Structures are given as C-alpha cells and as structure tokens.
Amino acid sequence: MVRAIRGAITVENNNREEILAATKELLEEMFRENQIDREDFINMIFTLTPDLNAVFPAVAARELGITNVPLMCMTEIPVPGALEKCVRVLLQVNTEKKLDDMVHVYMKEAIRLRPDLKR
C-alpha cells in the first residue's frame, strides 16, 4: 500500500548550510515519527518558496544516504501573504499502516500551515 506523508520547515536565511540542515532535521523527524525504513521510500518531492534558491533540498536527502530513491525539487508559486522561507516535502512510502496512522510533520514557523495537527 502506498501512503503519502507531508512535512514542512522554515529557515531564517537563504543559505546552503541552513537549508540543508533544516531539510535533514525535517526528514529525520518524519522518518522517526513514522518509523520509515529506507527501503520503504517510493519518492520524495520537495518544494521551496521563491525566496529560497541557495541549494536544492534533495541534496540533504542524498547526504543522509538516500541514493536510490527518485527525488524532485520545485519552486512554489509566489502567493501574496504566503509563509516565507519554507521547505516542504511530500514523501511517498510503501507501508501497511492505516492512513490515520501517518504522522505529518510541521516544524518551526511551518506549524502555522497545519495548526490542526497536534504533536
């Protein structure tokens, strides 16, 4: 069965080190919360708000050792009033877990995107 898990995190500055560190932090928390094994991944789709362009967030996944999974990075459309400096990810995984058992992870200022999710 395939399940999708969403996550998002914000950064303070548009620089390579900060974007990679935040993306790694987000991914590791998503893996931990959902007890995901690397062989369960189908793909990862990353988006960045238009104010972030210092590095592709997929680099963070590769640095975590995720080398045999298709990754894609995209820029979000610039919507007035949208959350700034945000990295988002959509993970698709093979799992027998129920949809309600999947834990979506929103960190730092990105918590504002899904205040309905209590962690």
Known catalytic residue at 32 = no
| Structural contact between residues 69 and 93, judged by C-beta atoms closer than 8 angstroms | no
Q: Could you say which of 17, 88, 109, 119 is catalytic? A: 88
Instruction: Read off the amino acid at residue 109.
Output: E
CA distance 11 to 86: 6
Q: Could you say which of 6, 18, 29, 33 is catalytic? A: 6
Known catalytic residue at 88 = yes
Known catalytic residue at 112 = no
Q: Could you say which of 18, 25, 29, 73 is catalytic? A: 73
Q: Could you say which of 63, 76, 96, 109 is catalytic? A: 76
Known catalytic residue at 114 = yes
Q: Could you say which of 18, 33, 109, 114 is catalytic? A: 114
CA distance 85 to 36: 27
Known catalytic residue at 86 = no
Of residues 9, 78, 16, the one with CA closest to residue 46:
9
Q: Could you say which of 38, 62, 112, 119 is catalytic? A: 62
- Residues with a catalytic annotation lie at 6, 62, 73, 76, 88, 106, 114
